[in-house]
Amino acid sequence: MPRSGSASTETRQYEEPAVVLGAGIAGLAAAAVLADHFPAVLVVERDSLSDEPSVRRGVPQGAHLHGFTVGGRGALEEMLPGFGEELVRAGAQSFDFAVDLPIRSHLGWGIRFPSDLWFVCASRPLTEHVLRRRIAQHPRVTMLTGVQVTGLTREGPRVNGVTVRPAHGGRTSALPVGLVVDAMGRGSRCARWLEQAGFPSPTEEHIDPHTTYATRVYRRPDVPPYSWQGCYLQVGPGQPRGGMLLPIEGGRWMATLVGLGARSPSKEEADWLPFARSLASPVLAENLSHAEPLTPVAVSHSTTTWRRHLHALRGQPDNLVCVGDTSVCFNPIYGQGMSVAIFTARYLGECLDRTPLSTGFAHRFHRGVRSLTRDPWLIGSAADLRYESTTGPGRRLHHRAAMRYFDRVLEAGVRDPLVQLAFLRVFNMLAPVSSLLSPAVARRVLGGRAPGRRPADAPPPVTAR
């Protein structure tokens, strides 16, 4: 289980339990670190949770592609050693990200080569199921399922209780709290509850590219037409449609089609393959034409990038913090959300290691989360703001500069494995964005351009590293 070294002393700091609102990835990861600091951790979840992996109401995007970046999975392994192996034993697929997931941007296919970027891929229901099973084994963690949170109570500058009732109706009661962690995601009512309890509520920032994505699960053919595990066709300037294909448990593929504004996919099965054939490369459509569809088409429009400015909120309760999509929410097509939730949970543990819950704890935590999420926010928001379909604040100078340089990186990655590896490490949250400005990378990025030719339709062969 999580960092056991400090548990024996830290858990004596607080008499009241930590209460985690939400049993998704962010809430479960937070519970893992809180179990080292509190005598009890209560995870409150409105859904009634199944003993088997299943899409649940509280995760409306559960039918779509999810995945930890390599860095996000590594951080989770630090908190829960052996989690990746456990997920693979449950059926998750693992592969070399630089070889087996060819990526095509609007500037061409990135070069492929052997690497140490081992990616583990599973459906969201399986990932959550394995993580929940692991967390529930901790003797200080209790899962309260089928329970709805209705509000907060306060005592001075702190929250002293969370009011709850059965999800299907019944008597309201209060849970005493030492710390509240809101991990209820996009649907959280945190701002309203803060106001009702007499606390100020945070301002928010929204960027909506009006992206639609549609997902369908297939049975993988015994002999796939290509010698790789999946593929990723990115949207970009002049390329308003994209798609992704990844292997998941049970000998299946999960395929997602993405479109901007009016160029979006529909939920109609008759439109599915024609849309796939309209992408910049035919490889995704050709793979799907050889596979058996197992599910209807699931569609989502929830792709707004937004964040609450909790770091700037004065007078907030000292013992209430927000993690995961409750704090900052990313467009899912960039694959950042679950990994950021893991990094944020790990940072919460670090904060509790350093300082007790005292005046200003939540403010210091949210200020740190602001710094921790700066890179993924820059990447996601700058990418979204370049599209004509996007509504939100106008692009600023640093957004334009970031995208111009990123285009040069993608262009260099078509021919240069060192640059492509640097990009993939940033993409997988193993290195900061600033690493792309290192002298070794910048010389190659700015030193030349790829030949001006039409990008190839098929992924390139694997080269030596």
What pLDDT, on a 0 to 100 scale, did the predictor assign at position 50? 84
Please report, as a single letter, which amino acid is at residue 32.
A
Q: Quick one: pLDDT band at residue 454, thresholds 50, 70, 90?
A: low
pLDDT at 278: 96
> How confident is the model over 15-29, as a mean pLDDT?
95
Residue 274 lies in a domain: yes
- Domain hosting residue 368, numbered range: 4-60+127-206+305-379
Residue 9 has pLDDT above 60, yes or no: no
| Cβ neighbours of residue 407 closer than 8 Å, sequence gap 6 or more | 107
Residues 288 and 139 in one domain: no
Is 345 within 8 Å of 29 (Cβ atoms)?
Answer: yes
Q: Tens digits of per-residue pLDDT, 241-272?
A: 999 999 999 999 999 999 998 899 999 999 99
> How do 204-207 and 292-293 pair as beta strands?
unpaired
Domain count, the chain: 2
328 & 215 share domain: no
Is 440 part of any domain? no
CB 242 within 8 A of CB 256: no
Q: Tell me, yes or no, whether 396 lies in a domain.
A: no
Q: Is 72 helix (H, G, I), strand (E, B) or coil?
A: helix
Q: CA dist 168 to 143, 147, 171, 193, Å?
A: 17, 8, 10, 20
Spatial distance between the Cα atoms of 280 and 194, rounded to a whole number of angstroms: 47
Q: Are residues 373 and 290 in the same domain?
A: no
Q: Is residue 459 part of a domain?
A: no
The answer to whether residues 219 and 167 belong to one domain is no
Q: Is residue 370 part of a domain?
A: yes
Same-domain check for residues 12 and 37: yes
User: Which residues touch 264 (CB under 8 Å, ≥6 apart)?
Assistant: 211, 212
Residues 117 and 238 in one domain: yes
pLDDT at 3: 46
If pLDDT is split at 50, 70 and 90, which confidence band does 208 have? Answer: very high
What mean pLDDT is predicted for residues 67-77? 96
Pair of tokens at residue 306: 């937004």
Note whether 279 and 165 are same-domain residues: no
The CATH number of the domain holding residue 277 is 3.30.9.100
Closest CA to 35 of 7, 75, 77: 7
Name the one residue in this structure whose structure tokens are 């053919």.
221
Q: What is the pLDDT of residue 13?
A: 58
Regarding whether 196 and 159 lie in a shared domain, the answer is yes
pLDDT category, 449, cuts 50, 70, 90? low
SS3 of 413, please? Answer: helix
What is the three-class DSSP state of 423?
Answer: helix
Instruction: CATH number of the domain at 169, please.
Output: 3.50.50.60
Residue 12 has pLDDT above 80, yes or no: no
Residue 457 lies in a domain: no
Instruction: Tell me the percentage of the chain whose pLDDT exceeds 70.
Output: 95
Residue 158 lies in a domain: yes
> Which whole number is the average pLDDT over 421-443?
97
| Residue-wise pLDDT tens digits, 99-126 | 999 999 999 999 999 999 999 999 999 9
Last residue of a domain, one of 379, 394, 420: 379
Which amino acid would we find at residue 45? Answer: E
Domain membership flag for residue 409: no
Summarised one tens digit per residue, pLDDT across range 265-315 is 999 999 999 999 999 999 999 999 989 999 999 999 888 888 999 999 888
Cβ-contact 59, 128 below 8 angstroms: yes
Count CA atoms within 13 Å of residue 326 on its CB side.
28
Nearest to 459 by CA among 6, 111, 96, 41: 111
What's the whole-number average pLDDT of the chain? 90
Q: Which of 351, 379, 407 is a domain's end point?
A: 379
Which residue type sits at 335?
G
Note whether 55 and 103 are same-domain residues: no
CA distance 6 to 8: 6
Are 339 and 69 in contact, with CB atoms under 8 Å apart?
Answer: yes
Rounded-to-10 torsion of CA 424, 75, 370, 341 = 100
Q: Is 324 left (phi over 0), alpha (psi -120 to 50) or beta?
A: left
131 lies in the same domain as 223: no
Same domain, yes or no: 98 and 187: no
Pick the last residue of a domain from 300, 324, 350.
300
Query: What pLDDT digit, counting tens, does each position of 311-367 carry?
Result: 998 888 999 999 999 999 998 888 899 999 999 999 999 999 988 888 789 999 999
With 70 as the cut, is the pLDDT of residue 6 above it?
no
- One domain for residues 373 and 330: yes
pLDDT at 452: 52
